[in-house]
């Protein structure tokens, strides 16, 4: 919806253009700049997309100043308290909470697709035992495209939805297989009588020769962490999925690209980074030294789990996770010195002028690692957990984009700063 127009005038040529001001249902009004190149001959410059709305979306809303996160209008606090991961996934995909019948049907469909093709299992043998699980995830999820490509009609909504279901169903099976490969244990088949997170824990921690009972505390905590990580509007990995998807690429290739983007330490890789950082800090006396390192512009070190492009007050997900950390440690009876260290680090950083001035607060990943560790999940699998949870967000955005009748290939422009046109010089004359 257009509010009114803004006028942009080129003072040199006197040419003007009317720029429509678009109003969403929530959030900042947005200037439609599409007409500028055609009418004034300029591009807009916004490296790292700090001010650019790359698409219209109806899925998730964030107000970074107020610390608000809504999925399809529902506050994250309410979903965290009352929903479960599969219901949240349904909400993200379909736009409404399911009724009982819809929920049962969705849950049955997701359970039905949990197995992976037997020949896919042989892929794991090609990786060294110490391959990072995120590298295996990228490879194996991408290779699902080889199994689901020929019959896939990208113009058929039902085909797209089945791909979305397959992704949500099969990624936990693949993730657990990555873990099993890294510890040399047999890959465990899914059990479709278990809930989503229970099944994941079962496939990761059970062995074929013994009975295994999934801990309800672990399943509950994982379910909550998955809700908190399910979607976050146009973040780097979701934007990657959309960009790759805009070319009409196979959905499994799109999600593999999303996994690749998520792996970086500035994004989902931060949860692994936090634990490694806490281990490096070691004890409370060393905190000031690391705070100084983080402030030193000549040192690339950053406090992992601190700061966010959008949240400039607090990350509502971090507030929930912090509380859950207490509960999980209490319920599991685990006394983890890392949690105490994390709390002290948070306390010191939040009083430090550098962090206050730049509005750097703990983000969702500052505490998630402490919980994963308490659940027995190895550090190298932390970002994989994030990827599993974010899959519902990725597929929701991919479906939204694919359903947009005005959708076009994503193709940014650039401010070229390279050499001017020049003539080729033969090798012997250079």
Asked if 178 is part of the footprint of ligand CMC (rule: CB under 6 A), the reply reads no
The Cα–Cα gap between 299 and 277 comes to 15
Asked if 309 is part of the footprint of ligand CMC (rule: CB under 6 A), the reply reads yes
Size of the site for ligand CMC (CB under 6 A): 20
Q: 61: part of which helix (H) or strand (E)? A: strand 60-63
Asked if 251 is part of the footprint of ligand CMC (rule: CB under 6 A), the reply reads no
| Footprint of ligand CMC on 267-286 (CB under 6 A) | 267-268, 270
Asked if 305 is part of the footprint of ligand CMC (rule: CB under 6 A), the reply reads yes
Q: What are phi and psi of 3, to 5 degrees?
A: -80, -55
Catalytic residue among 231, 308, 315, 397: 308
Q: How far is CA 52 from the centre of its chain?
A: 19
| Footprint of ligand CMC on 219-238 (CB under 6 A) | 232, 235
Asked if 398 is part of the footprint of ligand CMC (rule: CB under 6 A), the reply reads no
Count the Cβ atoms, other than its own, within 10 Å of residue 230.
Answer: 25
Residue 145 vs 387, nearer CB to ligand CMC: 387
Find the binder of ligand CMC among 115, 154, 207, 266 (CB under 6 A): 266
Asked if 346 is part of the footprint of ligand CMC (rule: CB under 6 A), the reply reads no
Catalytic residue among 71, 181, 232, 267: 267
The Cα–Cα gap between 115 and 170 comes to 6
Mark whether 365 is an active-site residue.
Answer: yes
**Residue 44, both tokens:** 């807009």
Q: How many CA atoms lie within 13 A of 103 on its CB side?
A: 13
Find the binder of ligand CMC among 307, 316, 369, 393 (CB under 6 A): 307
Count the Cβ atoms, other than its own, within 10 Å of residue 374.
Answer: 22
Asked if 86 is part of the footprint of ligand CMC (rule: CB under 6 A), the reply reads no
Q: Give the nearest distance from C-beta 141 to ligand CMC in angstroms.
A: 18
Residue 180 vs 267, nearer CB to ligand CMC: 267
- Cβ neighbours for 39, distance < 8 A, ≥ 6 positions apart: 15, 17
**DSSP for 221-285?**
HHHHHHHHHS--SS-HHHHHHHHHHTTT--HHHHHHHHHHHHHSTTTTTHHHHHHHHHHHH-SGG
Catalytic residue among 71, 229, 231, 365: 365
Q: Are 393 and 231 in contact (CB under 8 A)?
A: yes
Asked if 392 is part of the footprint of ligand CMC (rule: CB under 6 A), the reply reads no
Mark whether 231 is an active-site residue.
Answer: no
Residue nearest ligand CMC by beta-carbon distance: 307
The Cα–Cα gap between 318 and 320 comes to 5
Q: Are 124 and 181 in contact (CB under 8 A)?
A: yes
Asked if 363 is part of the footprint of ligand CMC (rule: CB under 6 A), the reply reads yes
Mark whether 130 is an active-site residue.
Answer: no
Find the binder of ligand CMC among 29, 279, 358, 404 (CB under 6 A): 358
The Cα–Cα gap between 268 and 229 comes to 10
Q: Are 386 and 364 in contact (CB under 8 A)?
A: no
Region from 22-30, 242-250, 266-274, 401-409 binding ligand CMC, contact rule CB under 6 A: 266-274
Q: Give the nearest distance from C-beta 111 to ligand CMC in angstroms.
A: 29
Asked if 250 is part of the footprint of ligand CMC (rule: CB under 6 A), the reply reads no
- Which residues here bind ligand CMC, judged by CB under 6 A? 232, 235, 266-268, 270, 294, 302-309, 358, 360, 363-365
Residues annotated as catalytic are 267, 308, 365
């Amino acid at each position: 919806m257009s509010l009114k127009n803004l006028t942009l005038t080129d003072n040199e040529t006197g040419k003007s253009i009317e720029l429509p001001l678009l109003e969403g249902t929530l959030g900042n009004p947005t200037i439609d700049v599409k007409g500028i190149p055609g009418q004034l001959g300029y591009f807009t410059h916004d490296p790292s997309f700090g001010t650019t709305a790359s698409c219209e979306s109806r899925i998730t809303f964030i107000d970074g100043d107020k610390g608000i996160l809504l999925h399809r209008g529902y506050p994250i606090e309410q979903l965290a308290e009352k929903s479960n991961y599969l219901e949240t996934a349904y909400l993200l995909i379909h736009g409404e909470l399911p009724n009982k019948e819809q929920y049962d049907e969705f849950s049955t469909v997701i359970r039905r697709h949990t197995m992976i093709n037997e020949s896919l299992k042989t892929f794991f043998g090609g990786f060294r035992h110490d391959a990072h699980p995120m590298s295996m995830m990228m490879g194996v999820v991408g290779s699902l495209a080889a199994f689901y490509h020929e019959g896939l009609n990208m113009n058929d909504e039902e085909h797209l939805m089945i791909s979305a279901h397959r992704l949500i169903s099969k990624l936990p099976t693949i993730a657990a297989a990555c873990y099993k490969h890294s510890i040399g244990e047999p890959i465990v088949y899914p059990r479709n009588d278990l809930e989503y997170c229970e099944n994941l824990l079962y496939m990761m921690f059970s062995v074929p020769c013994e009975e295994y009972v999934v801990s309800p505390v672990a399943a509950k905590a994982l379910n909550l962490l998955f809700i908190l990580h399910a979607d976050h509007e146009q973040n780097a990995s979701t934007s990657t999925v959309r960009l790759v998807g805009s070319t009409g690429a196979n959905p499994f290739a799109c999600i593999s690209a999303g996994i690749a983007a998520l792996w970086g330490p500035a994004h989902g890789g931060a949860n692994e980074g936090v634990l490694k950082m806490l281990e490096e800090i070691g004890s409370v006396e060393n905190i000031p030294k690391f705070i100084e390192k983080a402030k030193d512009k000549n040192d690339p070190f950053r406090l992992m789990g601190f700061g966010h492009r959008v949240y400039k007050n607090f990350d509502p997900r971090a507030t929930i996770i912090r509380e859950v950390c207490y509960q999980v440690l209490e319920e599991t009876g685990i006394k983890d010195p890392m949690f105490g260290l994390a709390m002290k680090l948070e306390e010191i950083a939040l009083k430090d002028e550098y962090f206050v001035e730049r509005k750097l607060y703990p983000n969702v990943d500052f505490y998630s690692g402490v919980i994963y560790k308490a659940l027995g999940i190895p550090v190298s699998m932390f970002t994989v957990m994030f990827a599993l949870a974010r899959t519902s967000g990725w597929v929701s955005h991919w479906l939204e984009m694919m359903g947009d009748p005005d959708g076009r290939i994503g193709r940014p422009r650039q401010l070229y700063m390279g050499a001017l046109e020049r003539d080729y010089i033969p090798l012997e004359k250079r």
